[in-house]
Amino acid sequence: MTKPVVLLAEELSPATVDALGPDFDIRTCDGADRGALLAALPDAEAVLVRSATRIDAEALAAAPRLKVVARAGVGLDNVDVRAATQAGVMVVNAPTSNIVSAAELAVGLMLAAARHLSAAHQSLRKGEWQRSRYTGTELYGKTVGIVGLGRIGVLVAQRLAAFGMQLLAYDPYVQAGRAAQLGVRLVDLDTLLAQADFMSVHLPRTPETVGLIGAEQLARVKPSLVLVNAARGGIVDEEALYAALKEGRVAGAGLDVFAREPSTDSPLLELDNVVATPHLGASTDEAQEKAGLAVARSVRLALEGELVPDAVNVQGGVIAEDVRPGIPLTEKLGRIFTGLAGEVCQQLDVEVRGEIADFDVKVLELAALKGLFTDIVGEQVSYVNAPLLAAERGCAVRLVTEPESPDHRNLITLRGTLADGSQVSVGGTLIGLAHKERLVEVNGFDVDIEPTEHLAFFSYGDRPGMVGTVGGILGDAGVNIAGMQVVRDSAGGRALVVLSVDSRIPAEALVEIQHAMDATSVRAVDLA
């Protein structure tokens, strides 16, 4: 068979090429050379770029076999995501690859601007020794306003907290409770402008954020303000910033990005109270390595027909950041459902309740189907073929969304009807900032247990001694119990034992448990 062609349009690390492996025909071109790029695209099924290659409608039209565009970095300014979606091409990036590097540079620019390091260095190189001219400002005890409390903004806040700074943030998409957990006080933009001694911008460039910090905003700040923008050019109005710096209405600035790049003739570069770098946020060996490895993994998944966690678009739509953590949980719920049902259901409802129901959650239906069939078909199950497998086996699927979720912030439940008319249900949620997975409902019983690699579910009539019986049999079989829950609908009624164990339960132990408990159902689910 002919190997899929993967086109490297820019130089990537050797580790990236190694991560792609021998399964692909890897070719290279100079993506900045438009003619060379267009000539190389017709055979490509995947193209990997950094920031110099522009993948727009023209490039996509030249690549009829293209399945995925991978940007080895965070921003997608050089990729037309809408045109790619219309062409059925997946777009992936490496959203966390450079966040540490970008956060560290922002802090470095803040320190450099506060202490006039660039100007003092240039003065010293000229043979001058002017200590009093470059008296700076401490960060300790000052108030910093962080505009945008996303991944990088959070890392900057954590680092500046170590300097003893007071932390304010403006971000209309962040809850005050989450900010408080980080030690940050969430305020509106006007309050931040009025109170900040330092300001660091960490927003994406969108139509709403372009020019967000302009002449009107800079007129409200303290004249001692040091402003840092290491996010995207254009969010800070450069003409307004130049005037404010020139007139002494802003004390200093640290800039890594500009509205137009390359930018070597900006008037801002003439000012001694500006420290500037040529968009170096992601320019560390570590960030480049992480970005290359991340997109190499994504390309492999995409060309294998899998859903890619770092996909910006899938099934014609964008996966919201709030939805992404629920994808692996929903796939696990699908596998647990099949383990409990022991057969393919005739009807499956994928119920999504809570805040994420406001987003497009179609991807969770795909995740549920992938999990549903992973352990019962011989072929590889992917997000591409899972709906076909369901149709072939007569499993009708319905996605149900409801913004109200009384007991959990978000709740994902798979509820299915079997051939005999009985129902099986399993529900899960994510808790905390780390999005820890919890199994919270099984066949109508409320539970609370981590969906680990090895699970077991025993249904029986409630009576004394059953917990000890189960523990004894598993102990004899050398199986260690990591977690256990016993729930019932009433005293002496239906009861359910849910177990998390450290290893697979032998079949003979399951048979022994069923006989000893007179259990109506004994199911083991292995997610390893």
Active site residue 515: no
The 3-state secondary structure of 409-450 reads CEEEEEEEECCCCCEEEEEEEEECCCCEEEEEEECCEEEEEC
Asked if 66 and 245 touch (Cβ cutoff 8 Å), the reply is no
Q: Of the residues 232, 297, 300, 523, which is catalytic?
A: 232
Helix 362-374 to helix 326-341 angle (10° resolution) is 40
Active site residue 116: no
The residue among 111, 200, 116, 221 whose CA lies nearest residue 163 is 111
Strand order in the sheet with 274-276: 185-186, 166-170, 143-147, 198-201, 226-229, 252-255, 274-276
What are the backbone angles phi and psi of residue 245, rounded to the nearest 5°? -70, -45
Helix 99-114 to helix 285-303 angle (10° resolution) is 150
Q: Of the residues 128, 208, 216, 261, which is catalytic?
A: 261
Q: How many helices (H) and strands (E) does the chain have?
A: 17, 24
Question: Rounded to the nearest 5 degrees, what angle is found at the Cα of 250, between the Cα atoms of 248 and 254?
Answer: 125
Cα separation, 374 vs 299, in Å, equals 21
Torsion angle defined by CA atoms of residues 464, 465, 467 and 472, in that order, rounded to the nearest 10 degrees: -170
Cα separation, 347 vs 94, in Å, equals 37
| Residue 425, both tokens | 């249900």
CA distances from 495 to 178, 478, 488, 498, 499 (A): 38, 25, 4, 10, 13
Coil, strand or helix at 229: strand
Active site residue 125: no
Q: Of the residues 115, 279, 353, 523, which is catalytic?
A: 279
Q: How many residues are present in the chain? A: 528
Cα separation, 447 vs 201, in Å, equals 43
Cα separation, 375 vs 516, in Å, equals 28
In sign, the C-alpha dihedral spanning 393, 399, 405, 406 is: negative
What are the backbone angles phi and psi of residue 228, rounded to the nearest 5°? -120, 130
Helix 507-517 to helix 466-476 angle (10° resolution) is 160
CA distances from 246 to 122, 177, 186 (A): 19, 39, 31
- What residues are labeled active site? 232, 261, 279
